[in-house]
Amino acid sequence: MFAGRFTDRRMDLLGISIIGITVGLGGGLLRDILLGGVPAALLSNWYLPVAAVFALLGMLLQSLFNRLGPLIITLDAVTIGLFGVIGTTKALAAGLPEIPALFVGVVSAVGGSVLRDMMLNVPIAVMHVGSLYAVAALVGCGLLVTLVVLEVPITAAAMICVVTTTVIRVLAARFGWTLPQQRAIGSWPHWRRRGSIQPLRFWPRRRTQAHPEPTVTADR
């Protein structure tokens, strides 16, 4: 559906299929590469053709799916949570510490969209002001890691992670929640008090000597 909107790119059916495969399987590919194993998507005959077929279906029925916007966003949010759970638990099972496992989980959740934007040569969505796509995955995976450390059963922890990620993502899309835009400290209004912050200078200011005004003397 995302690639189908780029009508000016003149993408053919193969291009749409490749984008669909990238979005559907990209996060898992990056996850398994980070963990040093063979990507799970390459261990079966079903992953690639199923992703390609449904990518073409999403393009052909785009007008229908556009009318199901809230449902599509909800399903997408659930998918983010599931990919985060799979990536995080797989990293923990491989013996990674908690913080690296959290990183792998987030990459697994949003990696497909990052690769999609790179292939379409558009700004990477998760790096710009948006609707907390990656933040939802980060909070959900972080909660999962915390619950695992507290020895909560993995099934219950995984369900809590998926629900938390889904709720944050759906509410962010519904109400337009975003993180603050990047901004230097001196640009925040309540910090800009007179004399409180001196301008940053990398080189000392050069002193200029005042030239005396020429005096006119009468000829003798």
Given a cut of 60, whether residue 75 has pLDDT beyond it is yes
- What pTM does this model have? 0.79
Chain position carrying tokens 């907390």: 132
- Mean pLDDT of all residues in 133-150: 95
Question: Are 80 and 110 contacting, i.e. CB atoms less than 8 angstroms apart?
Answer: yes
- Mean pLDDT of all residues in 184-211: 52
pLDDT band at 180 (very low <50, low <70, confident <90, very high): confident
Residue 140: predicted pLDDT: 96
Given a cut of 50, whether residue 27 has pLDDT beyond it is yes
Residue 201: predicted pLDDT: 45
- Cα(105)–Cα(101) distance, rounded to whole angstroms? 6
Least trusted range by pLDDT, from 2-16, 18-32, 205-219 = 205-219
For the record, the structure tokens of 35 come out as: 């963990």
- Mean pLDDT of all residues in 157-163: 96
Which has the higher per-residue pLDDT, 64 or 208? 64
SS3 letters across the chain: CCHHHCHHHCCCHHHHHHHHHHHHHHHHHHHHHHCCCCCHHHCCCCHHHHHHHHHHHHHHCHHHHHCCHHHHHHHHHHHHHHHHHHHHHHHHHCCCCHHHHHHHHHHHHHHHHHHHHHHHCCCCHHHCCCCCHHHHHHHHHHHHHHHHHCCCCHHHHHHHHHHHHHHHHHHHHHHCCCCCCCCCHHHCHHHCCCCCCCCCCCCCCCCCCCCCCCCCCCCC
Which has the higher per-residue pLDDT, 115 or 190? 115
Residue 106: predicted pLDDT: 96
Given a cut of 80, whether residue 184 has pLDDT beyond it is no
pLDDT digits (tens, 9 = 90+) for 85-129: 999 999 999 999 999 999 999 999 999 999 999 998 888 888 877
Residue 192: predicted pLDDT: 47
